[in-house]
Chain A
Amino acid sequence: MSQRQISVQGPQREIAKKWRVTRLAWGLLLPSLIFLAIFTFYPIGYSVYMSFFKNNMATYATGPQYIGLANYITLFTQDKVFAASFRNNLIVAVVTVPTSIALGVAMAIFANQVKVGKGAVRVSYFYPSLLPMVAVANIWLFIYTPMYGLLGYINPAWHFLTNPSTVLGALIVMLIWKQAGYVMIFYISGLQNINSELYEAARIDGANARQTFWKITWPMLKPTTLYVMIITLTNAYKMVDHLYIMTKGGPGNSSNMLLFYVYQKAFDQSNTGMASAITVVLVVILLVITCVQFFTQDKRIFYA
């Protein structure tokens, strides 16, 4: 290490030094890189490759057949389940992201201000995000059970989970309940980082609560919001455990999601080719989401 402190004596030495540091750095990064390579980079490439093959029960004996883009063509032109899952994922993202953010901000501001029962309030907002999705699914399955479930006490005629026009909404309510508290946490820390002098100035200027929020709090929370958006958007595509318990994507695929469809194709139906193609679509979606955020917006959220 001491080499780094030796004063620079010419470009060559500097380059030699940088190479030494580079070796050291790569050495330190190697363990992480190995695991990233095996479980993140390679599988992406593998999925792309496998998506060009017909590889299902019919080809079990003969081995995979190269079919070019046929899997993608099927997905985008014929596969109704894919279309439904794609649409459902989009709806979940479009609804849960802003709602979770709005609720998260409200929760954070309230949890920061409130005097009575501060701890209890924070606990009750935040605990859902600590529960496993499968446990949440079990609890909410009973809440939604018609007639004698918890909501059955309000109206026994509600059949939220078996009605294709309400099932997604019912699941979204659950997802928001689970996620909003987690979002709140980031806003609590975001609020703490706002310089209190700003509020002081606003107070002297006679700004009311609404003005203070829109002119100071919300703009100052922008980095937090960007970060939270990435988390919640990717979450919208990753949270599928509940489907396994609650609906299996039904009725009529009205609650299916892309990742769960991958699971069904890959493991229930042993259709590796199609599952790979859906995985690739999913990866592209996630990459686009993050790249749009990352390259068009404020890079400080990662380069702190």
Chain B
Amino acid sequence: MMMRLQKNRLQAASWKWTPGKVIGYAFMYLFALVCLIPLIWMVRTAFIPQEHALNLFKVAAPTLDNFVRIWNAASWSTYYINTFIIVGGVLLMQFITITMAGYAFARLEFYGKNTLFVLFLTQIMIAADVLILPNYNTISGMGLANTLLGTMMPFFASAMGTFLMRQTIKTIPFEIEEAATIDGCSLFNMIMRIYLPMLVPCYIAHGLIAASYQWNNFLWPLIVINSVSKRPLTVGLAIFAMSYETGAQWSDVCAATFLTVAPLLILFFIFQKRFIESFAYSGIK
């Protein structure tokens, strides 16, 4: 952060408006505006009375009618709960697995380290969601088809998270660990008491990324989940939208879309800086 401030000051000192910069600035502002159009339009259609949905230039008082209507048409509360369970369950398990694995890769020298490292890399290249067919067979062979556990399980290990954890642990001075060992701490206690608090930024960063990934995941839960009571939001939205695709019901689909994206988006708008820093943090390789 300090460095950036300093840099900004430097840049400010050297700042000159040139025609190229003016055009560039104008373009980038305009582009930011264009990026917003789909969102604005979706929100507008969600809140405008249904009969005006297709008239772009109509101004009307916002209404919650569309939400009331669709809330009764599908089990959105169930979809929310399922999505929360999936996001929460995956995060919890990933935090456990990546902490253990990240520690091993960061602090221990052992036989097979490089081999395992490359094996972990495989998961970054070939995510579980590419292997939909064999994984579906595995899950249903375990009797976990149509369960939330089956939806979550392929994501319980995270190579990305492991590498992130490894890097973060490497930045923590080893002396801390030595001090703790002298005090007779067990490995488990040491991780829990000493590392955990220092790893919070890492958990937040990985947590946000993994949470938004799981929140948005679609194809895999579409395949695994069969019953309405276990559908997450994305699957519920897609199936709802298909029954209401006809244009007269655009306000319904937009309202449903709004329901699906609102929690993440609102969080993002509030904690915008935190979000962006966390995502950026995960990218520092």
Contacts and interface: CB of A to CB of B under 8 A. Distances in A.
Asked if chains A and B are in direct contact (CB within 8 A), the reply is yes
Interface of A: 1-2, 5, 18-19, 21-22, 24-26, 28-29, 31-36, 38-44, 46-47, 50, 106-107, 110, 112-114, 117, 119-128, 130-136, 138-140, 142-143, 145, 148, 150, 153, 177, 181-182, 185-186, 188-190, 192-194, 196, 199-200, 203, 209, 223-224, 227-228, 230, 234, 237-238, 240-241, 244-245, 259, 262-263, 266-267, 272, 275-276, 279, 282-283, 286-287, 289-290, 294, 300-302, 304
A76 B281 CA distance: 42
B134 A276 contact: yes
B283 interface: yes
Interface of B: 3-4, 6-8, 10-11, 14, 18, 20-21, 24-25, 28-29, 31-33, 35-39, 41-42, 45, 54, 56, 96-98, 100-101, 103-105, 108-113, 116, 119-138, 153-154, 156-159, 162-163, 167, 170, 177-178, 181, 186-187, 190, 212, 215-219, 222-223, 233-234, 237-238, 241-242, 247, 250, 253-254, 256-257, 260-261, 264-265, 268-269, 272-273, 275-276, 279-281, 283-285
A122 B178 CA distance: 42
Given A18-B111, A47-B131, 19 more contacts: A1-B186, A22-B111, A26-B110, A29-B100, A35-B157, A40-B122, A40-B131, A42-B138, A47-B134, A124-B33, A125-B35, A139-B42, A142-B250, A209-B21, A228-B283, A263-B223, A272-B133, A286-B126, A294-B121
B110 A18 contact: yes
A283 B216 CA distance: 23
Contacts of A1: 177, 181, 186-187, 190
Contacts of A189: 280-281, 283-284
B78 to A, nearest CB: 17
A240 B219 contact: yes
Contact of A130 (B11, B112, B212): B212
Contacts of A228: 283
B32 to A, nearest CB: 4
Given A132-B260, A185-B279, A290 B241 contact: no
Given A39-B128, A237-B130, A135 B100 contact: no
A241 B241 CA distance: 14
In the complex, the 3 A-B pairs of residues with the closest C-beta atoms, listed nearest first? A43-B134, A189-B280, A35-B157
Contacts of A244: 218-219, 222, 238
A114 B36 contact: no
A114 B12 CA distance: 10
Given A5-B181, A189-B283, A227-B285, A32 B100 contact: yes
A182 B279 contact: yes
Contact of B237 (A44, A134, A294): A134
B163 A121 contact: no
24 contacts: A2-B181, A21-B110, A24-B110, A28-B100, A32-B98, A32-B100, A36-B122, A39-B131, A39-B157, A40-B126, A47-B131, A112-B8, A123-B268, A125-B35, A127-B268, A131-B261, A132-B218, A142-B45, A142-B253, A185-B283, A196-B7, A199-B11, A245-B241, A287-B126
A150 B41 contact: yes
A300 B268 CA distance: 31
A223 B127 CA distance: 22
Contact of B238 (A32, A134, A199): A134
Nearest to A142: B250
A130 B126 contact: no
A119 B273 CA distance: 8
Given A132-B261, A238-B129, A286-B125, A196 B3 contact: yes
A125 B29 CA distance: 10
A139 B41 contact: yes
A86 to B, nearest CB: 15
Nearest to A240: B219
A113 B14 CA distance: 12
Nearest to A115: B12
Contacts of A47: 131, 133-134
A266 B132 contact: yes
B67 to A, nearest CB: 16
Contacts of B116: 29, 33
Contacts of A300: 285
B3 to A, nearest CB: 7
B125 A132 contact: no
B104 to A, nearest CB: 4
A200 B14 CA distance: 9
A135 B14 CA distance: 43
Nearest to A110: B28
B110 A36 contact: no
A35 B156 contact: yes
A31 B285 CA distance: 24
A22 B238 contact: no
Contacts of B163: 302
A253 B264 CA distance: 34
